[in-house]
Chains A and B, each alone.
Chain A
Amino acid sequence: MLRARRGFEPRRRRRREFVAILFIRLTGVLVCAIMVSVLAFLIVNGAGALSLDFLTEFPRDGMTAGGILPAIEGTLILALGALLTAIPLGFGAAVYLAEYARPGPMVSVIRMGVLNLSGVPSVVFGLFGLALFVKAFGFGRSIAAGSLTLGLLILPTVVAASEEALRQTPQSFREAALALGASRWQAIRQVVLPAAMPGMLTGAILALGRAAGETAPIVFTASCAYTLSSPGSVFQEVMALSTHILNLATNGTHIEETRPQQFGTALVLLAMVLGLSLCAIIVRAKLRKGRRW
């Protein structure tokens, strides 16, 4: 047996191994600790504000009392509107990219567009939405304008996730359908899309989580500081959880007094986003059941 050289003796190797693994473990623990402390910070500061009334009442007394019902409603509506905007556009673009487009300059341009879109800061989307939907289309600050803006913001995520899901659908499904006399569109609609749907929906729901948490895109396009009623049409302004926190913390009249409400709202928002991610996982698991390829 060849003898190990200096510095490569078993004892040193084992010690190095130990140090490396210790370090890797530590980073894992640290990441975990950061997440836990953010959550703990929110819970310690915000749990006091939480109650059934907090979730089901309108704000009162300059936001220092009452609940955040309109903000919860507003965020849900805006997120849903964003999804309704992004799904048709995003699924359509993904089907085009994954199924029809032949590699060439056209596809490169589209792909580059999608990629760049995902790198645009959200505040830029906000300004774009302000210029286009609020002003040019004349929607005013409204659910419609905010939903469309958020929809554009999550579009790249929806396209990318859907395209990936379509690409992971086995080629053999397409071949089988075509060989049985299906047209390309029939093969896509009847075989490829159902098979890719879990992945596409997962992407969409994760994007929905992102839309629910965004602040900048809706500050200019949809949200108001205070409202007395639930929205009656898509052309009305709404409150939203993210902008409610921003307003209470920066330009309210009672910044210090509303600290508990700020943290409570943050906690609700976080729970909502995590809940949506959980939904995505459940949907995927349900739809994937009994499938393997």
Chain B
Amino acid sequence: MPEDNKKRAVVISARDVDFFYGDFHALKGVSMDIREREVTAMIGPSGCGKSTFLKLLNRMNDFVPGARLAGEILVRGEPVYGPDADPVDIRRKVGMVFQRPNPFPKSIYDNICYGPRLIGIRRKPELDALVEKALKAAALWDEVKDLLGKSAMDLSGGQQQRVCIARALALEPDILLMDEPTSALDPIATAKVEEWIKTSGLSIVIVTHNMQQAARISDRTAFFYMGELVEFGKTLELFTRPREKRTENYITGRFG
């Protein structure tokens, strides 16, 4: 949990972000600051814009036809959509883990090395060290250290998802985005991934449809509803003393 008096540095800052899919107004004037080494959860009913917002942070919406963005998003003060911004660079800095585990049909080792190899790291000892470090960071090393040559597709769902986390971590990203990372996992695998999120010490932004999960693992929570950021604050406060009626209705299960 963040110390109350000392504010942590802002890593991502969104200013008046509007986003359209064709005629559909998916995000309406969203402004928020995401802080360093905190877990920021985004909750809200399906279609509220939380995943759309997440994908804007590392330009994963770039290939959506008919999409349009207004407003500004800064990562460490640099505009993500500025004229000089390079989407490939941004994605290396802002890593992402997806809803369903999506390892490549390659060995565990090659999965983890994919990112590092893209930036020209080819020497075996260096790659070996990166693989070990990433797998340890993702709390998977002990389970797979003897099976690194095995296809990642042969692992369990929970292990696959942690391979994907390790794969993202191998690039040592500044920020990690997670789009409902446990929704395809069973409870035990979910617990492992949640445990990892809580103790990783990274700046993490996680979208979840599961309010209990947000309450369990996050420092701050943002509640999205119909494209608007309704409320954003310390997780404990948002869940115990919501300022907005709509937040209260949602967290008490009156809709959603």
Contact = CB atoms under 8 A, between A and B. Distances in A.
Nearest to A186: B118
Contacts of A190: 114
B141 to A, nearest CB: 20
B190 to A, nearest CB: 19
A174 to B, nearest CB: 9
A187 to B, nearest CB: 10
Contacts of A290: 105, 151, 153-154
A182 to B, nearest CB: 6
A173 B65 CA distance: 19
B104 A179 contact: no
Interface string A150-191: 000000000000000000001011011111111100100011
Interface residues of B, number: 26
Contacts of A102: 65
A171 to B, nearest CB: 9
Contacts, number: 63
Interface residues of A, number: 23
Contact of A179 (B91, B103, B119): B91
A292 B102 contact: no
A176 B118 contact: no
Contact of A181 (B65, B98, B118): B118
Give the one of B58, B118, B151, B171 with max A CB within 10 A.
Answer: B118
9 closest Cβ contacts across the A-B interface? A172-B102, A181-B92, A179-B96, A180-B115, A176-B102, A181-B91, A291-B105, A181-B88, A181-B118
28 contacts: A172-B100, A173-B102, A175-B60, A175-B98, A176-B98, A176-B103, A176-B104, A176-B164, A176-B167, A177-B114, A178-B91, A179-B58, A179-B60, A180-B91, A180-B114, A180-B168, A180-B171, A181-B89, A181-B118, A181-B171, A182-B88, A182-B118, A191-B104, A290-B105, A290-B153, A292-B153, A293-B105, A293-B153
